[in-house]
Amino acid sequence: MSAEDNQTEQDPSAHTAVAPLDSLSASAPRFLVEIIAWVAAPWALAPCSVWLAVLADVLLIGLPTVFGMPGAKKQKNPVSIPARPAIALELLQPLAACVAAFAAWPPVVAALVVAVSLAACGLQLRRWRWMLTQANRLVTGSRHE
């Protein structure tokens, strides 16, 4: 457990602006999967079209950079979106990583990408539940914890 997690447990108000569950141990595997997607998608698409390969990276990097749920990650997003589309947008990365890995690389490597993607998604479940809970609180207007 990181010092950041300990601080959140001791003082729940320590992370009012950021998801308390977006710790380094959960965000690092997510970032690894993002990097895999950024490499695998263009690699798989380049033989068909260099423009498609570039467009894949522009979308895989640009969409999550621009759109996001406020407080779900440490960085700020220019355009706020609700929890469900934010989660769907986050699932785009592991999906792209897995599909592109099978298209571009040997099956053994692609299987490793699937395993890493599943592990990263598993580590995001608590944060995604938190995001959905925050979205429900905004809709119902309740502030109880």
**Tens digit of each residue's pLDDT (9 = 90 or more) over 81-115:** 999 999 999 999 999 999 999 999 999 999 999 99
**1 in any annotated domain:** no
For residue 96, give its domain range. 23-139
**131 in any annotated domain:** yes
How far, in Å, CA of 113 to CA of 105, rounded? 10
**92 in any annotated domain:** yes
**14 in any annotated domain:** no
The answer to whether the beta carbons of residues 109 and 97 sit under 8 Å apart is no
How many domains does one find in the chain? 1
Residue 8 pLDDT grade (very low, low, confident, very high; cuts 50, 70, 90): very low
**4 in any annotated domain:** no
**68 in any annotated domain:** yes
More reliable by pLDDT, 127 or 11: 127
**35 in any annotated domain:** yes
**Identity of residue 48:** C
